[in-house]
Amino acid sequence: MEPGHPPAPTYRALLAIPGVGPLAGTLLLARLGGAMWSLALILFVLQRFHSPVLAGITTFVAWMPGLLLSPLGGALMDRVGRVRLIVLDMGVAVLGVVAIVLLSLTGALTVPSLLLVVGASSITGPLTWVGTRSLIPLVVPSPLWERGNALDAITASLTMIAGPALAGLLFAAAGGLATLLAIGGVWLGAGLLVATVRDVPAPRTPAGGVLREALEGLRYVVHNPVLRGLAVLMSLANAGDGIFQVALPVLFRSFPRGGSAVAGAVWSVFGVASVLGALAGGRMATRGRERRIILATLLMVAAAYCVVAAAPLVALPLVAAAAGMAVAGVFVGLHDIAMFSLRQRAIEPAWLGRAMSVSMSVNAVGLPVGTALAGPLVQVSLVGAMAAAAGVVALAAGLCPLLLPAGVARARA
């Protein structure tokens, strides 16, 4: 969408664009449910099965099937649009939550049945997080991309504030099943809201079958130097995040006065800080500076993770952990604006669904790998697991100059 006279790059101009308000509301609700689910699922497994290893495996299963099938979802988006596929995913997510609750109430919830339901409901997951994100460059003019990406990152950050806090408080006050039902209600609201958004099809005509187009999307990413570099860097960074996400609730359970509510509150500190980082990033001109910003922010996130890992060794561990999470949040917010804008500039409009679904999924594949590794690492050493998370993120930062080209040929200006 490129008007004859591009609007001034302000947040007011962004919100005046038709469709941006409902899209932002959909992002907020869908991500709120996802943020609550990420913590509630781990707490539910720890409470019911008393196994950090199973918590990591369950989180892995909650991600991996959808990531593997996401190229097909991207091809479908470029064919039929995004809105109806997002509605489908929200419906599947609600059914998955209801199934877990019913199995638990009837005494039929076993480890295999839990993993089966979680894995099945994850299959459609990329339809929402790729669909909503790939709508942004279709709805928003390129002069406002930094602001649009800031809105994207801010909704994610706000849900990091509210989601874990709500999940932790609900879990502590009402129990795991009530928390899961609340998550289902949030996802239902997201599905109803996105149904009011007018779809914006990508400017293309399907050239073959869905499988063929999915494979073309894979080839596009492999041959695009920016997307190829991001695939390696973000997979590593997300693997560190996956280890960290599983280890952090275990860490807080070991603190005096720790528990699910404390875990949620500290994640909320991270969310508040990432909102501030995203707001600052939205006002930055990232063009030509993306690589430097990504490198610096990843290094700072790794340093912040080290602070959290060392928190049990100091007199005020909760204060140290909260400070580390705040620093991490600010730099995650800045990082996301630079990375999102770089990826958008590297993708041609006709390839948005396929290329973005592959790129986002490959970038995210490290998260379930990290969560699967986290359980065994935590059993050996909790502090060691968190230090490993920081080390993997630092490795991604170190590889940034080697894998991201200094001069980026942009498909979209």
- Residue 213 three-state SS: helix
Q: Is the pLDDT of residue 355 over 60?
A: yes
Out of 89-93, 159-163, 234-238, 353-357, the most confident range is 89-93
The pLDDT tens digits of the residues spanning 114-125 come to 999 999 999 998
Domain coordinates in residue numbering, the chain: 16-403
Among all chains, which residue has been given the structure tokens 């602001």?
147
Task: Return the DSSP state at 351.
Answer: G
Q: Which of 367-371, 382-386, 404-408 has the lowest mean pLDDT?
A: 404-408
Identify which has the larger pLDDT, 232 or 206: 232
Choose among 344, 334, 318, 348: nearest CA to 203. 348
- Confidence class for position 413, pLDDT limits 50, 70, 90: very low
- pLDDT: which is higher, 354 or 245: 245
Question: What percentage of the chain exceeds 90 in pLDDT?
Answer: 28
Mean pLDDT across 312-341: 85
Asked whether the predicted pLDDT for residue 245 surpasses 60, the reply is yes
**What whole-number distance in Å separates Cα of residue 216 and Cα of residue 109?**
40
pLDDT in tens, 8-30: 567 778 877 877 888 888 999 99
Cα torsion 235, 365, 323, 152 to 10°: value is 100
Three-state SS sequence of 164-179? HHHHHHHHHHHCHHHH
Which whole number is the average pLDDT over 206-225?
A: 79
Query: Is the confidence at residue 203, as pLDDT, over 60?
Result: no
**Rounded to an integer, what distance in angstroms lies between the CA atom of residue 369 and that of residue 215?**
23
Look up the CATH superfamily of 16-403. Answer: MFS general substrate transporter like domains (1.20.1250.20)
What pLDDT does residue 218 have? 83
Q: What is the dihedral of CA 273, 275, 276, 281, to 10 degrees?
A: 130
DSSP class of residue 349 equals G
How much is the mean pLDDT over the chain? 83
Per-residue confidence (pLDDT) for residue 74, from 0 to 100: 78
Q: Given pLDDT bands bounded at 50, 70 and 90, which one contains residue 411?
A: very low
pLDDT value, residue 257: 65
pLDDT at 254 over 60: yes
Q: Is the pLDDT of residue 368 over 60?
A: yes
Return the pLDDT at 2: 45
Q: What's the CA gap between 29 and 23, in Å, rounded?
A: 10
- Model confidence at 207, pLDDT cuts 50, 70, 90, reads low
State the pLDDT confidence band at 302, using cuts at 50, 70 and 90: very high
pTM (predicted TM-score): 0.72
Q: What are residue 316's phi and psi, to 5 degrees?
A: -120, 80
Confidence of residue 201 (pLDDT cuts 50, 70, 90): low
pLDDT of residue 3: 47
* Residue 183 pLDDT exceeds 90: yes
pLDDT-wise least confident of 195-199, 205-209, 234-238, 340-344: 205-209
pLDDT, one tens digit per residue, over 289-299 is: 788 888 999 99
- Region 261-270: mean pLDDT is 77
- Check residue 334 and give its pLDDT: 85
Grade residue 153 by pLDDT with cuts at 50, 70 and 90.
Answer: confident
DSSP type of residue 255: S
